[in-house]
Structure 1
C-alpha cells in the first residue's frame, strides 16, 4: 500500500510538471497583462482595460491552480472571499498581485523544475527503448545503426535515469505547490478565521442565553405548578387545623394533619423532580458513572452504560456531558422506536467524549430542536456534536468536550 501511494504521488507530481509546462504561455501572458495594466493606469487611466482583463484572467488562473492542487495533490486551498474594490484601488488589489506572483512562480520555477523531471523521465525512457529500435531505423547520410556503448549498459542507465526522474518529481514540484498554497490562500486568512470564530461564538452565546432563559422559565413554571401548589395546600390545611383547635381544643384535626402530611410529601417529590432537571445530587456526589446509571435505570427501555474515566472530569464538563446523554436518551425514548440503547463515556487525550447509540429506525436530524440545543450548549465551550442516523438505523449521537482545567475536589 505504501509503495502504491508513493508511485501515485510520483505520477501525479509528474502530471503536475507537464501541466505547468502547458500553462507556461497563458500564465506568463496573464502576468504581463497585469503588470502592464498597472504601469499604464497612472497615465490618465489608459491601463484600466488591460488591468481589468488581466485581473479577470488572473482570477480564472487562480481557480485553475486550486483545481490542479485539489486533483493532483489532494490539497485544498481556500479561495478568498469576493470583494468589490473601488476603481482607484484596483491596482492595489492584494489578491490580484498574489495570484500574479503565483503565475510567475509557475512560469519560472514550476516550468523549469517540471522540465527537469520530464527530461529525466523521457531521456531515460528513450535510452531504454533505443537499443531495440536503433538497428531498425534507416539512418540518413550513412550514420551507422549501432550505439556507442553496450546495449545492456544503455538500458540500465536509461532505467536509472527514468526512475530517478520519476521519484524526484514530487520533490521538484513541491516548491511550486508550497508557493501556491502560500500565495493563493486569502491574504488575511488569520483575520478571516478569527472573524468567523467570533461570529460563531456570538451566535452560540445568543442561543445559549436563550436556552438558559427558557430553562429558567421552565423551572419557574414547574415550581409554580407543582411544589408551590402543594405547599399552599399544606398551609391551608394547617391553618384550618389551628382554627379548629382554637374553637375547640379537643377537636379531631387528624384529617387536616393527614392531608397536610400527604401534600408535604408530594411537594418534596415534586421538588426532587425539579431539582433532577437542574443538577442531580448524585452527579455532584458520585460522578458521571453513577448519574448515568441512574438515567439508565429510569429509562423506559434497556440502556447499557459504559464509563471509562481514570479521574473525574471538570464539574462543567460532567454537567454538560450528563445533559447531552440525558437529552439523547429522551430523544431515543420519544422518537427512535428502539428496543435498547447504549451509553459510552471515555477520555480521548484531554477531551471528554460520549456516545449514545440505539437500534431504532434512524432518521435523526441534527437540526431538530433537541439536538440543536445540544449543539448550542456544546458550542459555547468549543465542543462538537456528530449525528450518524441513516434511515432504518442505527443511530449514533457523539459529543466531544475540550479539556477543562483540573480542579481539586473535596471529599
Structure 2
C-alpha cells in the first residue's frame, strides 16, 4: 500500500512496521468513533424521511448536516495524520439555491454520510478483526507465564477438539512464538486490510468534481495560480539573465582579455613569458564553469530526461553541502512535466535547507500515491519555515508552481525543528499500478 505513513528517519526497513502500527491506530479510532458516526447517519436519514411529511424533520436534517460537515473534516484529518492520505476539503455550498435544495441536495453531506456508514460497517469490522488478532497474539505470548503463575505448573497446552478429554502439550516457547508471529503478521498486513476503507474514502471525502461549487472554485483557483505561475516564471527568467550577466559573462570577458594580452605579447616578442596571462585565463575559465553550474542548478538537467528522478535527485544530493539520503520508489516514470516540477521542488527545498535550516542531514523520499507523485523533504534543522515565506524559507514559489498544476504543498516546521516539506501533484494517468 503506497499511501501509508512514510518514515521520517533513516531506516527504510522500518517503514512497513511503522505503517502497520499507524494502521492499527486508525482501526482503533474507527471503533471509538462508531457511536458518534452512527448518530450522525441516523440524524440525516431520519431528518430526510420526516421532512416531506412533518416539518419536525427539518431540525434533525439541519443538525445532521452540520455534524456531517464536522465529521468529514475530522475524517480528512484522521486519514492525513494516521495514513498520510491527503484529501482536499470541499468548500461551502453555492448560495442562492433555496433551503430545500441546500438541505436535501447537498452532495457533500450525502457523500460524507456514505463514508461514515462505511466506517461504521467495514471500518469497524476490519478494526475489530485486526485488534482481536493482535490481542489474541499478545495473550498467547504471555499465556505460558500466566498459566505457570496461576497453576504453579510450567508448560501450556490446548484442548482436543470435539470434546475429547485431555490436552495437547505444547512447550512454552511454541505458544509464545505463535503469538509473536500472529502479532507480526497482523501489523505487517494491517495497511492492506484498511485499504478496503481508505480506497472509497478518497472518492467520498473529496470535493464533488461535477458540482457548480467545485467548478467555480476550480476556475478561481486556476486563474490565481496561473497568474502567479506566470509571474514566477518571469522572475526566474530575470534571475537567470542577471546571474549570467554578473557571473559567467564577466568571467568569459576576462578570459578573452587575458588571451588577447597574451597574443599581443607574443606578437611583439615570440620569446615573451605569457604564462601569467594563461594562468589567469585558466582560473577565470574555471570560475565561469562553477558559475554556470550554479546558474543551471534551477534548470532541469539532461540526466532527468534521460534517466529519471532517481538519478537526477541523486545528483542533487551529491552536490549538496550536507549529507542527503534519497529514496525513490517508482515502478513507472511520471509524466515529464510532473518530473520537472518535482525536481525543481526538491532542488529548491534542499537549497532552503542549506541556507536557513542549520541542519546536519536531510532526507528526500519520492513515491507514487494513486495518480499522484508524492515527495517529502525532511531535515533535522532549527525549523520555523512556512509555505507563506516566513522563516526565510522562500517556499511561496513552490506553492505557486504546484498550484498551477493542481498540486499542493504542506510544511510542518515547528520552532526548534525538525522540518517536513510534503509535495503532491498529478503525475500518472491512473492506468498503471
TM-score (norm 2): 0.55
Mapping 1:2-17, distance limit 5 Å: none
What is the deviation of 1:375? 1.0
2:252 matches 1:231: yes
What is the deviation of 1:293? 2.0
SS in 2 for 1:320: helix
Match of 2:66 in 1: 67
- Structure showing greater radius of gyration is 1
Q: How many residues align?
A: 284
Q: 1:381 aligns with which of 405, 414, 428?
A: 405
Mapping 1:163-312, distance limit 5 Å: 190-312=211-333
Partners of 2:247 and 2:102 lie apart in 1 by 67
Unaligned 5+ segments in structure 2 are 1-27, 76-88, 106-206
SS in 1 for 2:376: strand
Mapping 1:50-61, distance limit 5 Å: none
2:395 matches 1:394: no
Sort the Cα spacing of 1:391 and 1:25 in 2 relative to 1 into closer, same or farther, 3 A.
farther
Partners of 2:421 and 2:34 lie apart in 1 by 37
What is the deviation of 1:200? 0.9
Checking the alignment, whether the CA contact within 8 Å between 2:328 and 2:366 is kept in structure 1 is: yes
What is the deviation of 1:208? 1.1
Mapping 1:78-157, distance limit 5 Å: 80-82=93-95, 94-96=97-99, 98=101
Checking the alignment, whether the CA contact within 8 Å between 1:27 and 1:61 is kept in structure 2 is: no
SS in 1 for 2:383: coil
Sort the Cα spacing of 1:235 and 1:300 in 2 relative to 1 into closer, same or farther, 3 A.
closer
> Which protein is richer in helix relative to its size?
1
Sort the Cα spacing of 1:72 and 1:190 in 2 relative to 1 into closer, same or farther, 3 A.
closer
What is the deviation of 1:196? 1.7
Sort the Cα spacing of 1:214 and 1:77 in 2 relative to 1 into closer, same or farther, 3 A.
closer
Match of 1:168 in 2: none
TM-score (norm 1): 0.57
SS in 2 for 1:370: coil
Sort the Cα spacing of 1:77 and 1:65 in 2 relative to 1 into closer, same or farther, 3 A.
farther
SS in 1 for 2:365: strand
Sort the Cα spacing of 1:334 and 1:239 in 2 relative to 1 into closer, same or farther, 3 A.
closer
